[in-house]
């Protein structure tokens, strides 16, 4: 058995760096001698027979787990999950994801769960990403994709996380737009308002580098207790 730690990684939007940060966290925890598994409960968008987020999370994990537990729902079209599920004639069920998470938790000390899209993305007519985070009861890490408009998206997400009764364990400022103006001022504005630790500033990288990113993360506040 283990101490059952987990984190739920959400973002200000789709494509803001949740997978990069999830993988970097897995590497950072693993470097601290922890057993780690990445989980992508719902992946939508299959490329050449692969779901890239899942591939990357599996590669960054140091415990191998059954695919159906790492990724209980793999949807082919790159659509909003509840629409892709409806198209496939299935309903995404919170209990299935919960049971898969419990199984992973019994296999590793830390499970990093990557959400889909942003925090309120629906999974079915019955539940959404925030309900899932609540059911898992995990501290949330917010990835802010630094671009114009991100301050509002970040503050709305932080409000939704706290309204769900969850802890915002920290946030990551991820530079996804090399042309962004006044980046430092934006980060400062968020630091003043998010009321949780800044885990890292990740620069714009080409190509992206998970290991370099992992070294930039300050995980001390995440692993104490």
Ligand X SMILES: Nc1ncnc2c1ncn2[C@@H]1O[C@H](COP(=O)(O)OP(=O)(O)OP(=O)(O)O)[C@@H](O)[C@H]1O
Task: Rule CB under 5 A: say whether 19 interacts with Mg ion.
Answer: yes
Residues 45-77 as b/e (b if ≥16 CB within 10 A, e otherwise) read bbeeeebebbebbbebbebebeeebbbbbbbee
Which CB atom, from 179 or from 225, has the smaller least distance to ligand X? 179
Q: Compute the least distance from the CB of residue 146 to ligand X, in Å.
A: 9
Which segments of the chain are extended strands (E)? 5-11, 36-39, 42-44, 73-75, 110-114, 140-146, 168-175, 198-202
Cβ contact 132:72 at 8 Å: no
Task: Rule CB under 6 A: say whether 210 interacts with ligand X.
Answer: no
| Near ligand X by CB under 6 A: residue from 6, 17, 38, 81 | 17
Q: Compute the least distance from the CB of residue 3 to ligand X, in Å.
A: 27
Task: Rule CB under 6 A: say whether 53 interacts with ligand X.
Answer: yes
Which CB atom, from 75 or from 182, has the smaller least distance to Mg ion? 75
> Where in 57-116 is the site for ligand X (CB under 6 A)?
none
Kindly give the pairing relationship between strand 140-146 and strand 36-39: unpaired
Q: Compute the least distance from the CB of residue 43 to Mg ion, in Å.
A: 8
Give the whole-angstrom CA distance, residue 17 versus residue 36.
Answer: 19
Q: What is the CA radius of gyration of the chain?
A: 16
Which CB atom, from 18 or from 27, has the smaller least distance to Mg ion? 18
Residue 48 contact among ligand X, Mg ion, none, beta carbon within 5 to 8 Å by kind: none
Q: Which stretch binds Mg ion (CB under 5 A): 13-21, 129-137, 154-162, 196-204?
A: 13-21
| Near ligand X by CB under 6 A: residue from 10, 19, 61, 186 | 19
Catalytic site residue 40?
Answer: yes
CA atoms within a 13 Å half-sphere pointing along the CA-CB vector of 209: 11
Give the whole-angstrom CA distance, residue 180 versus residue 55.
Answer: 30
Task: Rule CB under 5 A: say whether 53 interacts with Mg ion.
Answer: yes
Q: Compute the least distance from the CB of residue 108 to Mg ion, in Å.
A: 20
Give the whole-angstrom CA distance, residue 17 versus residue 6.
Answer: 19
Binding site for ligand X (CB under 6 A): 11, 14-20, 53, 117, 174-176, 202, 204-206, 208
Which residues are catalytically annotated? 40
């Amino acid at each position: 058995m283990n101490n059952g730690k987990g984190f739920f990684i959400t973002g200000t939007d789709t494509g803001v760096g949740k997978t990069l940060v999830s993988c970097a966290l897995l590497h950072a925890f693993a470097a601290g001698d922890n057993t780690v598994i990445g989980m992508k409960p719902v992946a939508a968008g299959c490329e050449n027979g692969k779901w890239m987020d899942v591939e990357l999370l599996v590669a960054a994990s140091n415990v191998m787990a059954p695919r159906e537990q790492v990724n209980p729902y793999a949807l082919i079209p790159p659509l909003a999950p509840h629409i892709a599920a409806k198209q496939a004639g299935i309903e995404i069920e919170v209990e299935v994801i919960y049971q898969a998470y419990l199984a992973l938790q019994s296999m590793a000390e830390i499970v990093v769960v990557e959400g889909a899209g942003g925090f309120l993305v629906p999974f079915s007519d019955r539940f959404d990403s925030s309900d899932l985070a609540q059911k898992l009861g995990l501290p949330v890490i917010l990835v802010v994709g630094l671009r114009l408009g991100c301050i509002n998206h970040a503050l709305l997400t932080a409000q939704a996380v706290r309204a769900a009764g969850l802890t915002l364990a920290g946030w990551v400022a991820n530079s996804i737009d090399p042309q962004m103006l006044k980046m430092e001022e934006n980060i400062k504005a968020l630091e003043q308002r998010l009321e949780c630790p800044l885990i890292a500033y990740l620069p714009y990288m080409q190509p992206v580098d998970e290991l370099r990113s992992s070294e930039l993360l300050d995980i001390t506040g995440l692993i104490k207790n």
